[in-house]
Amino acid sequence: MASNIPIIIKSFLFILILLNIKSFPLAYHIRSIPIFLKAFKDRNADNEGKDIFQIVECKYDVLFDDLDSNLHMNNSSYNKVLDHARGYFLGTLFANIMWYRKPSIMQRSVLMVFDHEIPPFSNYSVHTRILTWDHKWLVLVSYFRLHKDNKIASLGISKCIFKEPNGKTIRPEEIFEASGYLKNESEKGKEEREKRRQRGMKFVEGIHVAEGLFDDEFVKDLNLKNKITAKL
C-alpha cells in the first residue's frame, strides 16, 4: 500500500515530520535522556575548587513547531526550552547529588523577559548559571543568545527548591557543600560568593512580591458572577 503513494507525497510527509519532530509523542522525554546520561557520567565528579557560578551552555535550533503566527519563536516554546536547559544545568553542576541522593527539584516561579525575537530556523544557545539563593530557594538565570549576531534575545529566571524523598527541604548551601564546591574555600572566596549572592538577590525581590497574588484577597475575585467564560 505504501509503495503506491507518490514520491512527492512521501517527501512532503517526511519534511512535515522533520519540521515538527520536537512535537512528536515522547520527543520531550527522549531529548531529556542526555541529562540523565550526563548525571551518570559525572556522578563521582570532584568539584573542589570549581566556581559555583559557572555557566552551562545548551544549543538549540528553531524549527517549524516552535513558531507562532508571527513567524518567530512562540512564547510557550521558551518555557519548554528553559525546562530542558535548567535540567541539564542541574545535572551538570550537581550530578553526584542528583544520582546518589535523588532529591526532588520543584519550581516555584519562572519569569521570562523578552527583549528581541528569535527568528525562524535560527540557531541559539541558552546560558544558565546561579543568580542567587537563600535558606530555602535556589534562583537560576538563563540567557537566550542568538548565534548569528551574539545578541541576547531574552532571559528566564527560575526559582527552585530541593526536597528529600521524605519531603524535607534541602538548603542550597547544603547542596553546594555536598557537591564539593565549598570544600577548602578561602575567606576571600566566601566574601566574594556572598557579594554575588546579595547582588543577585536584588533582582528577584519582585518575584517574591508577585507570589503574594496567591493570597485569598486576590483569588476570591475569580468567583465573581460577572466574569466572561470563553469556549475553546
Buried b / exposed e along 200-212 (16+ C-beta atoms within 10 A)? beeebeebeeeee
The confidence band for 217, taking pLDDT boundaries of 50, 70 and 90, is confident
* Region of poorest pLDDT, from 44-53, 65-74, 182-191: 65-74
The confidence band for 129, taking pLDDT boundaries of 50, 70 and 90, is very high
* Region of poorest pLDDT, from 22-31, 39-48, 136-145, 195-204: 22-31
Beta bridge partners of residue 146, listed in sequence order: 124
In the chain, % of residues over pLDDT 70: 95
In terms of DSSP H, where are the helices of 7-107?
A: 7-19, 27-31, 33-41, 75-93, 95-100
For the entire predicted model, the pTM comes to 0.85
Whether residue 118 is predicted with pLDDT greater than 60 in this model: the reply is: yes
User: Residue 118 contacts by C-beta under 8 Å, 6 or more apart in sequence?
Assistant: 62, 72, 73, 124, 144, 146, 153, 154
| Cell numbers that stand for 3 in this block | 509503495
Please, what is the average pLDDT of the chain? 87
The confidence band for 30, taking pLDDT boundaries of 50, 70 and 90, is confident
Highest mean pLDDT among 35-49, 50-64, 67-81: 50-64
Angle of helix 75-93 relative to helix 33-41, nearest 10 degrees, comes to 20
| Extents of the domains making up the chain | 14-211
Whether residue 35 is predicted with pLDDT greater than 70 in this model: the reply is: yes
Q: Which fold has domain 14-211?
A: Thiol Ester Dehydrase; Chain A (3.10.129)
